[in-house]
Amino acid sequence: MNNKSIGIWVIRIVVSLLFLVSAYAKVYHEPSAYFSITTFEAKQLVPLGFSSEISSYLSRILIALEFSIGILILLPFYLKRIVIPLTVFVLAAFCIHLAIQIYLTGNSGNCGCFGSLLPMTPLEAILKNIFAIGLLVILNKLVPKDKSKKIEIFYGFFIYLFFVVGIMVLVPIKSSDNIVIDSNNYLVQEDIILEGPKQIKSEFSQTLPFADNGRLILCFFAPGCDHCRAAVRSIDSLSRIVENFPKVEIVFMDEEVDKIPEFFEYAESEYHYIILDISTFYDVLTWERDTPGIFYMWNGNILKEFNGINENAFDPELLLKSLEYK
């Protein structure tokens, strides 16, 4: 094998891995496949105007396309004529979408391109895509002209169909209405009245009117999220040592709601909660923030905010310092 052939295969393998890892990450089972795929839907598809139901189908179609490109880039079928141009088009479309996202909401949070497996900002994703496009341009110059037979175009179609069906079977679409479930059977803490800062209307008040009532810890969680479980357990520990600890209100996304009892069992306490469908959940939390989202609020004022698992991740010590303010 000469140097040219080695270079061609190195590029093909690198691009293939980028697509296969990206597709796998969106159905990555940590904390769950549904958590990863709904994060992708909420961050990338719903903001474009697609409904939650359409986003559920579109996400699986796009993930199947990523899996298919990852395989087809390694095969000889219409590589130069179809596969490389299609791959460049897909990457360019993603770049345009991410650029619009940065313009509208800023370069913050996890874009969902690699799910929860590898959190990545929109700008980092654009740079990754530009790198891949550069490799594909080089690859297009190195590979010889296609000698594929017309029948071989159906091979790509069958590969794509295989992944579409596979994802639909492994991660079936759940029927979801705009669920708002108010659970009153859990412990509701006494609201201790303290004077605090001036009353204002918070960004959450339209959907969550209770958010502006006195002092509270407002939490945005996914029932199957390990980071969310760790956060609520820390909050519960603080509540046992801090006098006049604020009431805790939890907003769950409609994802693996059957794990809510398990969530509270891990927390060692039960708190009042509501459940919002994925679209409404991120509308309230806002698209640039990630779970776990935790807000220490007083009369509608956000005194301390945590979100995601990176630089703004929940820190019990920082929350404790904020609680010391009177």
Q: pLDDT tens across 252-261, in order?
A: 988 778 889 9
Round the average pLDDT of the chain to a whole number and report it: 84
Query: Is residue 44 exposed (0-12), middle (13-18) or buried (19+ Cβ within 10 Å)?
Result: buried
pLDDT tens for 6-36 read 999 999 999 999 999 989 888 875 556 666 7
What's the confidence (pLDDT) of residue 194?
54
pLDDT at 309 over 90: no
Q: How many CA atoms lie within 13 A of 259 on its CB side?
A: 20
In the chain, domain spans: 3-170, 180-323
Least confident among 1-5, 66-70, 216-220, 224-228: 1-5
pLDDT tens for 116-140 read 677 788 899 999 999 999 999 999 9
pLDDT tens for 159-217 read 999 999 999 988 887 654 444 444 444 344 444 445 678 889 999 988 998 898 889 99
pLDDT tens for 51-94 read 777 888 898 999 999 999 999 999 988 888 899 999 999 999 99
Assigned CATH for 180-323:
3.40.30.10
For the residues of 2-56, what is the DSSP string, one character each?
-HHHHHHHHHHHHHHHHHHHHHHHHT--SS-HHHHHHHHIIIIIGGGT--HHHHH
**Whole-structure pTM value:** 0.64
pLDDT at 273 over 90: yes
